[in-house]
């Protein structure tokens, strides 16, 4: 298979972690007989330095010619970087927001996985984490409270602010379909999270989710109120497979779930649109404090590349091989500095990439 991938190294540790993800992808492609065509694209600070803007029309055009985007991360240290003396719409993050909008990336996927070997990093007690957990949070990304009408005004000398939470059934249906499709590739359970005891938008969310569920008889659908879900994530995270929720609830719950895993350098993410197209990037930022030192953990980016193979190219076996390589490397005792513990072998970013690539094995 020919894979056309736009690659955005970005800023800070971005180029280092992308180089390692490509090493692992190339080895996977070699083993399974695929050909990858990468096109490098500038975004964020790297684009400002060359073009004066964080995202160009040419960059969007190049990305549209590709089937998926693999990204490092963008941005710098706001206290010292000249990028943050520019107008807000010219700063690095504005480029990423504009790109997500241009590509209509409405479904954000954030896996929260606790690896047995990293259980020490989990802030929960051993009797709660038991055999670990593997949750996929699917957050609606382009609607809801963050995109509704908002204003601040003063009425009779009293300041008043208004935000509006709006969803139409099409917006709910398309993200629900994504969640059920993804559940079919996993353990076939969707927990739809809302606040249906209070909000009309949540009652519509619940009704549409139930309509979508009729097309997926193999998937179990349950509904959970958002306040209960926040509790259940720390009480019994293993009960969840796919969590489906709206924009603001997902913003909060995905951060909670990722902190429960305890390892920021391990967390992948994907943002998808209506086609198979997706933008894949680690959940962490560009870590300017450790850039250029070959000490960043590339695993979140490597796991994002595995998600890309699974969701944009339907290459499940290849994605499994990469995820297995991550587990094997951890079992073999290798760690980057951010996840090091006693009796383990500390390695740098590039060595970690080599170790992962060495462990890619054919799953036929």
**Where does this chain bind ligand NAD (CB under 6 A)?**
73-76, 93, 96, 264-265, 281, 284-290, 296-297, 300, 338
Tokens of 285: 């930022």
Least distance from ligand NAD to the Cβ atom of residue 172, Å: 25
Is 49 part of the annotated catalytic residue set?
A: no
Which is nearer to ligand NAD, 279 or 357 (by Cβ)? 279
Least distance from ligand NAD to the Cβ atom of residue 113, Å: 16
DSSP assigned state of 342: T
CB atoms within 10 A of CB 285: 17
DSSP string of 225-251?
EHHHHHHHHHH-GGG-SEEEE-HHHHH
Backbone φ and ψ for 273, nearest 5 degrees, come out as -115, -165
Least distance from ligand NAD to the Cβ atom of residue 325, Å: 17
Question: Among 120, 200, 227, 314, which one carries the catalytic annotation?
Answer: 227
Question: Among 77, 163, 251, 338, which one carries the catalytic annotation?
Answer: 251
- CB distance 193 to 253 below 8 Å: yes
Least distance from ligand NAD to the Cβ atom of residue 291, Å: 9
Is 168 part of the annotated catalytic residue set?
A: no
Which is nearer to ligand NAD, 46 or 253 (by Cβ)? 46
Which is nearer to ligand NAD, 315 or 325 (by Cβ)? 325
Least distance from ligand NAD to the Cβ atom of residue 309, Å: 20
Tokens of 160: 């008043």
Which is nearer to ligand NAD, 300 or 319 (by Cβ)? 300
Which is nearer to ligand NAD, 2 or 289 (by Cβ)? 289
Question: Among 23, 27, 178, 195, which one carries the catalytic annotation?
Answer: 195
Is 251 part of the annotated catalytic residue set?
A: yes
Is 227 part of the annotated catalytic residue set?
A: yes
Strands 242-245, 134-140: parallel, antiparallel or unpaired by DSSP?
Answer: parallel
Inter-axis angle of helices 92-102 and 57-64, nearest 10: 40
- CB distance 322 to 332 below 8 Å: no
Exposure b/e, 60-80, CB count within 10 A at least 16 = b? eebbeebbbbbbbbbbbeeee
Helix (H) or strand (E) holding 94: helix 92-102
Question: Among 104, 146, 181, 324, which one carries the catalytic annotation?
Answer: 146
Catalytic residues: 146, 195, 227, 251, 255
């Amino acid at each position: 298979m020919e894979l056309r991938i736009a690659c955005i190294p970005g800023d800070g540790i971005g180029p280092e972690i992308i180089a390692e993800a490509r090493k692992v992808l190339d080895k996977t492609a070699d083993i399974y007989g695929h050909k990858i065509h990468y096109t490098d694209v500038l975004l964020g600070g790297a684009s400002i330095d060359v073009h004066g803007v964080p995202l160009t029309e040419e960059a969007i055009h190049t990305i549209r010619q590709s089937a998926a985007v693999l990204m490092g991360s963008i941005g710098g240290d706001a206290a010292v970087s000249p990028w943050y003396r520019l107008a807000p719409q010219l700063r690095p993050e504005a480029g990423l927001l504009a790109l997500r909008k241009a590509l209509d990336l409405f479904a954000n996927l954030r896996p929260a996985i606790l690896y047995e070997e990293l259980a020490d990093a989990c802030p929960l007690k051993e009797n709660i984490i038991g055999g670990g957990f593997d949750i996929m949070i699917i957050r609606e990304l382009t609607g809801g409270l963050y995109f509704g009408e908002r204003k601040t005004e003063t009425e009779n000398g009293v300041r008043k602010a208004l935000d509006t939470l709006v969803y139409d059934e099409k917006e709910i249906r398309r993200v629900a379909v994504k969640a059920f499709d993804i559940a079919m590739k996993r353990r076939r359970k969707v927990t739809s999270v809302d606040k249906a005891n209070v909000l009309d938008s949540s009652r519509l969310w619940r009704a549409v989710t139930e309509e979508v569920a009729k097309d997926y008889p193999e998937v179990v659908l349950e509904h959970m109120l958002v306040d209960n879900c926040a509790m259940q994530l720390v009480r019994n995270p293993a009960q969840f497979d796919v969590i489906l929720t709206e924009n603001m609830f997902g913003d909060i719950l995905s951060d909670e779930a990722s902190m429960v895993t305890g390892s920021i350098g391990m967390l992948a993410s994907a943002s998808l649109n209506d086609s198979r197209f997706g933008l894949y990037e680690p959940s962490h930022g560009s870590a300017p404090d450790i850039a250029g030192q070959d000490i960043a953990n590339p695993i979140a980016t490597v796991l994002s590349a595995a998600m890309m193979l699974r969701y944009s190219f339907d290459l499940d076996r290849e994605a499994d091989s990469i995820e297995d390589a991550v587990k094997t490397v951890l079992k073999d005792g290798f760690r980057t500095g951010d996840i090091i513990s006693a009796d383990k072998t500390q390695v740098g970013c590039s060595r970690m990439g080599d170790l992962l690539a060495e462990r890619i094995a054919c799953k036929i």
